[in-house]
Amino acid sequence: MSEHNAIRLAKDDTAPNFELESDEYKHYALADFKHKNVVLYFYPKAMSSICTVEACAFRDNLNRLEDENTVVIGVSGDDIPALQEFREKDDINFVLLSDPEYEAHKLYGTVTESEKDGKREYSPIRSTFVIDGEGKIAYADYDVNVSGQVERILAEVAKLK
């Protein structure tokens, strides 16, 4: 079994653009959010316990983030029906994107690839990025602790003024 993980992005790197489909069957590209700050977070699995805590924390603080000209985008490898169920079950109020081929994950280094018995497997890495209105990474966390995460993100967003 071999493992591969892409190079990790850091502060001041240009955020890679991508286009994915949302749970509402809309296509979104990162470039669509130019001139806004973006909290881009990658999570392993919709409706799992920690992912639900994380999403609900962003949901509950979305107004505070929007007051800072910031949008929240959650990305997972889940299919669209799973994301629709997640949105409905937990009243998610921000963009959820489906990345079943892990394309955006690979661009951001948020997935570990391995091969087992000739089959490629992907393990998502819970990660969060703050991207400024010019498309530069202002903050990158590849070892997210969801406890206190939103407060840390709000502090990073406040630095972008």
Asked: is 2-7+16-158 a CATH 3.40.30.10 domain? The reply is yes
Evaluate whether 41 touches 54 at the Cβ level (below 8 Å). yes
Three-state DSSP string of 29-69: EHHHHCCCEEEEEECCCCCCHHHHHHHHHHHHCHHHHHCCC
Rounded mean pLDDT of the chain?
95
**Ordered strands of the 119-124 beta sheet:** 2-5, 111-116, 119-124
How do the domains of the chain map onto residue ranges?
Answer: 2-7+16-158
pLDDT digits (tens, 9 = 90+) for 9-27: 999 999 999 999 999 999 9
Q: List, by residue number, the catalytic residues.
A: 51
- The pLDDT of residue 3: 53
- The pLDDT of residue 161: 78
pTM to 2 decimals?
0.94
- The pLDDT of residue 30: 98
pLDDT digits (tens, 9 = 90+) for 46-95: 999 999 999 999 999 999 999 999 999 999 999 999 999 999 999 999 99
